[in-house]
Chain A
Amino acid sequence: MAKKKIVLHFPEESIEKPLTYHLVKDYDLIPNILRAQIDENEGMLVMDLEGAPDQIQKGIAFLKEQNVGIQEAIKDIIVDRERCVDCGSCTGVCRPGALTMGSDWKLAFDQEKCVFCQLCINACPVRAIKVQF
């Protein structure tokens, strides 16, 4: 079993398709939706996909066929250590606990836990956190 975190951007025509159903049914994947933002124009989902590695790849290929933009989420949030002063402000808005204060009171970032809510970007007073698209 493998696990992969991805961000899905889907266009208007795909919003009403039961895409996660197909991931479960056709590829035997366990999608865990971490964050979702859907309105009448577009949709965005952050999800963990768990399953056999080849099935994950096939599932992602299926999504791409449906015109869903796939962002391999890893490496997207960048903390500029030169700029960061380890104040801890960002940890206050990080609900999944990806940004935490270590025992040495230095900022620690666990990308695995990040759900890309991006609240940390504005919460950082010294603008040390950036999204890399």
Chain B
Amino acid sequence: MAVKKTYEEINEKIRRGEAVVVTAEEIIDIVKDEGVAKAARKVDVITTGTFGPMCSTGAFINFGHSDPPIRMAKVWLNDVPAYAGVAAVDAYIGATELSEVLGMAYGGAHVIEDLIAGKKVKLVAKSYGTDCYPRKEIETYINKDVINEAYLFNPRNAYQNYAVAVNSSARILYTYMGTLLPRLGNATYCSASQLSPLINDPFYRTIGIGTRVFLAGTQGYVAWQGTQFNPQQARGENGVPLSPAGTLALIGNLKQMNTDFIRAATFHNYGTTMFVGVGVPIPVLDEDIVEKASISDKDIYTTIVDYSVPQRSKPNFGRVSYAELRSGKIEINGKQVRTAPISSYTRARKIAETLKTWVKEGKFFVQQPVETFKLGQSVKPLEIVTEEEI
């Protein structure tokens, strides 16, 4: 009989402390040794994890009202501008916003890390003053305990696969994929591959709006599909996209996060960004789920892209598997090229392991999506046109 389990059945097992939970790495050998059917009967939840730089990250903060109150029109946190074009004391601080004093050495990501770490942050706000909000200026200090609310809302995290970056030009390039040495001097890649959430559920059967996830050390949720969600990307026979495809918009309480699982970063001559730790538990509803999640690096392919071409559509040097990338060397045009990861595989493992413990101990339940993502959509570019052409 084919295996069928419901979310309720799995959660009941978790509640009783009887759920069998393994990581997306461990499931590979279980399926190899025991087969899909037996693995599906035995295992209830498969945990995934990823820890990479994700620029599309930021936090909404509600500072609480001062006396007399202010409608903050411009806000700075440790000299980093935050967007305040929402209600009176709401603001959004984005990871890539740079300090007006320190530039690339300190950005929104660093403000977020400092807040999570419990450090004090200088808040400056300016306003034009209104009858209901007469105050025009504020300069004070905050930390995560004194601010009213703070939550991360990341428009695009956990990319389902990503390109390999190389540089065929004669000069060194500084990119969000790290320092790319000239004349194919290195190749950088950025995915947790066989541990990555969306690679283990390639058609988003269990990951959709409302899915409960591990976000930066606490429980968070999938709020929406991530921006640039591109499920129609070319896929291999196993269903895994061969280039960047699905993405997740994630939300979670900043005050409960842990800097072990989220970290500010500066990519030299590019700017600031944020390493974000994300883990998603995949409930074993049937054999198909297990089969897809048992994929290993040798069967996950990605595309080698030449970042020296400053155009939207960059030329590529073909495809390569993560097993090859993780071997430390790949061959491009007959040349041996050294490879380097940009996302941390050890932290991805730690996230998948932490999530496994949480589920085993009955602290974390699987949540059926309230809505699944549509597979038919694609990404639109921005064309530069005149007023008459639109």
Partner of B188, one of A86, A89, A101: A89
Q: Which residues of B contact A78 (CB under 8 A)?
A: none
Within the complex, the shortest CB–CB distance from A84 to chain B, in Å, comes to: 9
Q: Which residues of A contact B265 (CB under 8 A)?
A: 125-126
Count B-side interface residues using an 8 Å CB cutoff: 33
Q: Which residues of B contact A106 (CB under 8 A)?
A: 346
Assembled-state Cα–Cα distance A95/B343 (Å) = 20
Within the complex, the shortest CB–CB distance from B103 to chain A, in Å, comes to: 14
Assembled-state Cα–Cα distance A86/B188 (Å) = 14
Cβ–Cβ contact A92 & B344, under 8 A: no
Given contacts A126-B263, A126-B264, contact A92 B346 (CB under 8 A): no
Cβ–Cβ contact B346 & A104, under 8 A: yes
Q: Is B340 an interface residue (CB 8 A)?
A: yes
Partner of B340, one of A91, A122, A125, A127: A91
Q: Which residues of A contact B342 (CB under 8 A)?
A: 87-89, 92
| Chain A, range 86-133, C-beta contacts under 8 Å to B | 86-93, 95, 100-101, 104-106, 119, 122-123, 125-127
Within the complex, the shortest CB–CB distance from A31 to chain B, in Å, comes to: 26
Q: Is A2 an interface residue (CB 8 A)?
A: no
Q: Is A85 an interface residue (CB 8 A)?
A: yes
Assembled-state Cα–Cα distance A90/B344 (Å) = 12
Cβ–Cβ contact A125 & B53, under 8 A: yes
Assembled-state Cα–Cα distance A100/B328 (Å) = 9
Interface string of B168-211 (1 = CB under 8 A from A): 00000010001111000111100000000000000000000000
Which of the listed residues A92, A93, A101 has the most CB atoms from chain B within 10 Å of its own CB? Answer: A92
Assembled-state Cα–Cα distance A100/B341 (Å) = 10
Cβ–Cβ contact A88 & B263, under 8 A: no
Partner of B186, one of A87, A93, A104, A127: A93
Cβ–Cβ contact A125 & B267, under 8 A: yes
Q: Which residues of B contact A89 (CB under 8 A)?
A: 178-179, 188, 340-342
Given contacts A92-B178, A104-B346, contact A85 B51 (CB under 8 A): yes
Given contacts A101-B341, A126-B264, contact A86 B179 (CB under 8 A): no
| Given pairs A85-B263, A125-B267, 15 additional interface contacts (CB within 8 A) | A85-B275, A87-B52, A89-B179, A92-B178, A92-B340, A93-B179, A93-B181, A101-B328, A104-B346, A105-B341, A106-B346, A125-B178, A125-B265, A125-B273, A126-B265
